[in-house]
Structure 1
Amino acid sequence: MTRFIVCIFALLLSFQSLAAESAPTDESIKNLLDAMNAKQMLEKIRAQNASSVKASILGQLGGKQLNPQQEKVLNTTSEKISSIMAEVMTWENFQSIYTSLYKKNFTQEEVNALTVFYKTPAGKSAMNKMPAVTQQIILESQKLLVPVQDRIQQAAQEGAVEFRKAQ
């Protein structure tokens, strides 16, 4: 019986040490983010944001031709939206988000392996291409919604009416 208790105790200690070892450190996550050029990637995303906002608004208009006054309003609006987004899309905000999420979702071993990968030519290439790929995914996904935009708007309006009735 004593051997059984000792074995259980040893198992519990080993699980605790595994759990403690598996959480990545802030420093290792910082090294990973550096290897990923995450700060520079955020800057590229911020720079591309203005065109994405404008494209999104144009997508919602369904390819409608704009007159010069509408074009001016579109440009002003997209610039305002981009400026507002830039206020919160700071490196300080994203670094804390990355650190928190990487700690929750990756082990120290995985963070180490990712850091090694992103220091390789293939890893660097992948990170350099990600902002453009992400932007293209957003633009392509918006195209999928254009044909059903009227149906979505109608469903939203019907839902709003039903919501008011339910109050």
Structure 2
Amino acid sequence: MPSLKRLACVLIVALAATASAGAAAAQSTKAEKAREVFQVFQGDGLMEQMFEATFAQINAMARQANPELPNEVGEIIQDEILAALKESMPLLMDEMAIIYERVFTEEELDAMLAFYKSPAGQSMIKKMPAMMAETVPLSQRWGMALMQNLPGRVEQRLQDEGYEL
């Protein structure tokens, strides 16, 4: 009977290992899907294009503020910023995938992947840089307009509430 006990122990350990491996595989699958969302979304260097579009706006504002700035200086700054962003992108993608894995269910990740791989999702990804090029300056103008009136509005409200300024 010792061999039967040994066989039973081996089976129990094997079942436990299989169950653990199944749970790990499920988590691995979810983690892989979370990473895949970013890989699909990254298509055609989307993040790099968005950074370039954003930097173009920042560079234009810097040039307005400092018209004497040589073109080479702006190019060097842009090159180094983009190089640093590219180098750090894998770490960002890993960290974002961890958050996506924690926040979203596997079904939600599947739906995201289905959308991003669909013609509409691919169209969105391809058009995102152009959209960002338009929305960044819009957001800046909106923020500046908001900030012009906000201090007076807050001051008036505080006075209305009885606070002396």
What is the TM-score with the length of structure 2 in the denominator?
0.57
Q: Deviations over 1:147-166 (max 9, x none)?
A: 577889xxxxxxxxxxxxxx
Amino acid of the structure 1 residue aligned with 2:42? N
RMSD of aligned C-alpha atoms? 3.6
- Deviation at 1:113? 0.8
**Secondary structure at 2:67's aligned position in 1?**
helix
Give percent identity, aligned residues only. 20
Could you list the runs of 5+ residues in structure 1 that have no partner in the other structure? 1-20, 62-69, 153-167
* Residue 25 of structure 1: how far off its partner (Å): 2.3
Size of the aligned set, in residue pairs, is 126
- Please report how far the alpha carbon of residue 138 of structure 1 lies from its aligned counterpart in structure 2 after TM superposition: 1.5
2:135 counterpart letter in structure 1: I
Matched-pair contact (CA < 8 Å) for 1:36–1:127 = yes
Sort the Cα spacing of 1:145 and 1:22 in 2 relative to 1 into closer, same or farther, 3 A. Answer: same
Gapped regions of structure 2 (runs ≥ 5): 1-25, 151-165
TM-score (norm. length: structure 1): 0.57
Q: Larger Cα Rg: Structure 1 or Structure 2?
A: 2
Deviation, 1:120, is 0.9
Q: Give me the whole-angstrom Cα distance separating, in 1, the residues matched to 2:75 and 2:149.
A: 29
Deviations 1:71-96 (A, max 9, x none): 34174554354344324312313312
**Which residue of the other structure, out of 32, 40, 46, is the alignment partner of 1:41?**
46
Which residue does the alignment assign to 2:37? Answer: 32
Partner of 1:86: 82
Secondary structure class of the residue paired with 1:89: helix
